[in-house]
Amino acid sequence: MTSLRVLGIDPGLTRCGVGVVDVDRARRGSLVHVGVIRTPIDAPIGERLAAVAAGIRQVLETHRPDAVAVERVFAQQNSHTVMGTAQASGVALLLAAEAGLPAATHTPSEVKAAVTGYGSADKKQVQSMIARILRLDAPPQPADAADALAIALCHAWRRGAVAPASGGGLTPAQQAWADAERVARTYVRSAR
């Protein structure tokens, strides 16, 4: 396999981010598709889930990914929001299984660490790094779209079938962080 195509999904009922990337053996990513599936907040839950499913199904059929990665649901203050996110996540995982695709979930901190080198990065930092990694003129908007691309890249770099070209299996952001730490340690040792 010369490259891995991953569909990343940032699940949500109001806005569900979807992003498809190709990642080559040297871990370089390229944008294939990015978008946001939107549903009206006042529509019945069944209709909203059906709209999310239809949007994801269309991306699966059009772009034929090799794997699907979904952001793992985490506890939030607002139980209504987390319930909708969990339901959209379940739809995404079901569709991946129906398509016979391997699927995985990644926590927000895993995704942030993979693309920025820092697990507590904010939305703007993630958007900025996605633009740099994928060589885009501007960060993807809204944040849900950038998050979906970050999830896809995280999966390709961390658990995908792309063999690392160098760096012992680290993502490019993690490799840059490791290099900076190595330089700092050398500087500290030489200062003693």
**Domain boundaries along the sequence of the chain:** 3-191
Nearest to 74 by CA among 106, 45, 49: 106
Nearest to 106 by CA among 143, 68, 138: 68
Report the side by side order of strands in the sheet with 67-71. 29-38, 15-24, 3-10, 67-71, 103-106
Q: Which of 22, 110, 144, 147 is catalytic?
A: 144
Q: Please, are residues 115 and 30 in contact by the beta-carbon 8 Å criterion?
A: no
Convert the pLDDT of each residue in 10-23 to its tens digit: 999 999 999 999 99
110 labelled binding-site residue: no
Active site residue 144: yes
Convert the pLDDT of each residue in 46-72 to its tens digit: 999 999 999 999 999 999 999 999 999
**Residue 168 above 70 pLDDT?**
no
Structure confidence at residue 167 (pLDDT): 44
Active site residue 71: yes
Active site residue 122: no
CATH C-level class of 3-191: alpha beta
What residues form DSSP beta bridges with 23?
4, 29
71 labelled binding-site residue: yes
Look at the block and give the residue holding tokens 């080198």. Answer: 117
66 labelled binding-site residue: no
Strands 29-38 and 15-24: antiparallel
pTM across the whole model: 0.82
Phi, psi of 165 (to 5 degrees): -75, -35
Q: Which of 10, 22, 110, 147 is catalytic?
A: 10
Q: Which of 22, 71, 110, 147 is catalytic?
A: 71
Among 25-39, 93-107, 152-166, 173-187, whose mean pLDDT is lowest?
173-187
